[in-house]
Amino acid sequence: MLEILARANVSQDVHRLANLSYIAAFAEKKGLTIDEVTDVIRFSRDDVTRELMEGPFQPKLHLGGKFGDRTRFSDGEWPVFYAAVDLATAGKEAAHHYGRRAAGDPASPRAVYYSIVRCGFSGEIIDLRFPAWADLISEDYTFCNALGREAHALGVGAFLSPSARHEGGTTVPAFIERTLSGPVIEATARLSFKAGHVDMEVREPL
């Protein structure tokens, strides 16, 4: 299907909210505030940035060598780096997935800390926004998984795709690690789930 769609070379900044399990666990154990977590990330900035960027492209031993669980554009057999054109869309996407997990926890869910990362994307893209297929924002990932499999096989750098969580927003699922560069951790976000709603608090590093 993708072979009949136009491709273009694009260079632009993208945004991603990502968290590291060991920092989240450390923060919970120590009862750290968002300012203290921001200090931890600042102190370990190079290591944190490297893991946030490289993590999606590394096979996971605990998943039998897969790159992750099933997501919109992958069944786990190939890597995807999920980002968005703007920070608002990245935040809405992260908040939705955190809220879905938190809502299924009968206990009071803990807050989760994310790093807000901005990096450059430069590579070949296929724009799926105009006209957009309805299945691109469906809760059934079958159609999107098929597109992701084809993009991975064809060596497509990324899609520009409509966001399922932020009307009018654009996501950038990237399939090739070398298309991403120059990461900057812009802030720390604290997501908490209360009464069916996700609150996000942001702290920018000093």
Query: Over the stretch 129-162, which tens digit does the pLDDT of each residue have?
Result: 997 899 999 999 999 999 999 999 999 999 999 9
Entry pTM? 0.91
DSSP-based three-state secondary structure for 14? strand
**Contact 202/187 with Cβ under 8 angstroms?**
yes
Q: How far apart are CA 192 and CA 187, in angstroms?
A: 16
Q: With bands split at pLDDT 50, 70 and 90, how would you rate the model's confidence at 21?
A: confident
- On the 0-12 / 13-18 / 19+ scale of CB atoms within 10 A, 29 is exposed
